[in-house]
């Protein structure tokens, strides 16, 4: 049968490994044919695709990004978007889609499946905030990139007796900040799940300087102080209604200097966390998701998503995967607090 593949939302390392896994197994074991839609849901809406063959997926395993391109196109909000996809798939003889994405792309996948377009989901996001799977691929790579940055910032912070603040990605969930901060020996970790008390943060910083060490503060882009703050940014929201975040590290820089009298500097890691080659963990997880996604399609398990449960890959309902965001539980965050200050 003919199956379409697409990658949507923010890219992340490991997307190509999934595509390769799907195509390699799908062609050699099941004899299926593959179409790769370009730029997420834009591809099936505008009928923009390329054939995916074993030859075309050779050599892509270690490559970051996605050979198919990505976008935040939302066909559910478009006039006639879902119908156009249905018609385009029918005309091309495509039986179903494998959609690789995060909460937004998989939310659309669920809607499509409900409206009669068979879809199987594969969870990806560096944020690791999807429910129903223990981990998403891309997260381990992002954490390692952030950890390495923190390691480097420690030495320059010590040389200059500065407070260095590292802003990492994480809109609603602080998984990257929590893991990278813990692995990198941060002195304060601030996450979106818990509004932070700036006085407390400054106390930690002063305590750290008393021990002759320079503090590193790791902050998620979505973290907020009690009472909020003005980032001064005014960028229109994307097609899924998400505002563009960023600015909390620079805001902290000013506040910490003013309150403690210590020089503070912000480093915003941004898209560096999403680029480049995936770690071994992400390559293996992404490959296994791909192999299981095509098996699920072959067996007609539409409406499901591949999920990591302990060390096994299982199939879960797409609806369960997007029902609730997975955030950092308070008791886990508390485990890191012993290292604060």
Q: Point out which residues bind ligand F6P (CB under 6 A).
A: 10, 102, 125-127, 169-171, 221, 244-245, 274
Distance between CA atoms of residues 129 and 123, nearest Å: 10
Closest to ligand F6P by CB, 77 or 199:
77
Q: How far is the CB of 172 from ligand F6P (least distance, A)?
A: 9
Q: Write down the least CB distance from residue 126 to ligand F6P, Å.
A: 5
**CB-based contacts of 185: which residues, under 8 Å, 6+ apart?**
150, 154, 216, 339
- DSSP states of 188-214: EEE-TTS-B-HHHHHHHHHHHHHTT--
Q: Which is nearer to ligand F6P, 175 or 196 (CB)?
A: 175
**Which residue lies nearer to ligand F6P by CB, 111 or 221?**
221
- Work out how close the CB of 100 gets to ligand F6P at its nearest, in angstroms, rounded to a whole number: 13
**Residues annotated as catalytic (active site), given as ranges:** 127
* Secondary structure element (H or E) that encloses residue 5, with its range: strand 2-7
d(CA 334, CA 64): 34
DSSP state of 171: S
Q: At what angle do helices 139-160 and 280-298 cross, to 10 degrees?
A: 160
What's the CA gap between 178 and 220, in Å, rounded?
Answer: 9
In the bound state with ligand F6P, the residue whose beta carbon lies nearer, of 10 and 278, is 10
What is the distance between the terminal CA atoms of the chain, rounded to a whole angstrom?
59
Hey, is 217 helix, strand or coil? strand
176, 271 contact by CB (below 8 A): no
Query: From the CB of 95, what's the least distance to ligand F6P, in Å?
Result: 29
Q: Give the residue ranges of DSSP H helices in 66-170.
A: 81-92, 103-114, 139-160
Q: What is the dihedral of CA 153, 154, 156, 160, to 10 degrees?
A: 130
State the minimum distance, in angstroms, from the CB of residue 238 to ligand F6P: 6
User: Cβ-count burial of 198 within 10 angstroms (0-12 exposed, 13-18 middle, 19+ buried)?
Assistant: middle
**Nearer CB in complex with ligand F6P: 193/221:** 221
Structure tokens that stand for 300 in this block: 């007609």
C-beta of 121 vs 170, nearer to ligand F6P: 170
Residue 279 CB, nearest distance to ligand F6P (Å)? 17
């Amino acid at each position: 049968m003919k199956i379409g593949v697409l990658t949507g939302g923010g890219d992340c390392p490991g997307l190509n490994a999934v595509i390769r896994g799907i195509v390699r197994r799908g062609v050699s074991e099941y004899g299926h044919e593959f179409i790769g839609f370009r730029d997420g849901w834009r591809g099936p809406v505008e009928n923009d695709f390329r054939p995916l063959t074993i030859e075309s997926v050779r050599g892509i395993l270690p490559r970051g990004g996605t050979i198919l391109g990505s976008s935040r196109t939302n066909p559910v909000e478009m006039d006639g978007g879902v119908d156009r996809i249905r018609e385009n798939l029918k005309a091309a003889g495509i039986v179903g889609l494998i959609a690789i994405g995060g909460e937004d792309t998989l939310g659309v996948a669920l809607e499509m499946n409900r409206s009669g377009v068979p879809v199987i989901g594969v969870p990806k996001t560096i944020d690791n905030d999807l429910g129903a799977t223990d981990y998403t691929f891309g997260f381990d790579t992002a954490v390692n990139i952030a950890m390495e940055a923190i390691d480097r910032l420690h030495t320059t912070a010590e040389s200059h007796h500065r407070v260095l603040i590292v802003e990492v990605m994480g809109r609603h969930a602080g998984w990257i900040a929590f893991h990278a901060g813990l692995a990198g020996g941060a002195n304060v970790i601030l996450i979106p799940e818990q509004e932070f008390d700036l006085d407390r943060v400054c106390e930690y910083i002063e305590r750290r300087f008393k021990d002759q060490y320079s503090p590193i503060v790791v902050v998620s882009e979505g973290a907020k102080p009690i009472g909020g703050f003005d980032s001064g940014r005014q960028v229109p929201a994307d097609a899924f209604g998400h505002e563009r975040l960023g600015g909390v590290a620079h805001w902290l820089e000013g506040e910490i200097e003013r309150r403690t009298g210590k020089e503070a500097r912000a480093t915003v890691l941004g898209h560096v966390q999403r680029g480049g080659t995936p770690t071994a963990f992400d390559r293996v997880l992404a490959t296994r998701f791909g192999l299981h996604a095509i098996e699920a399609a072959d067996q007609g398990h539409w409406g499901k998503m591949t999920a990591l449960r302990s060390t096994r890959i299982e199939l879960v309902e797409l609806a369960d995967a997007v029902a609730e965001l997975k955030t950092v539980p308070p008791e886990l965050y508390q485990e890191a607090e012993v290292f604060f200050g």
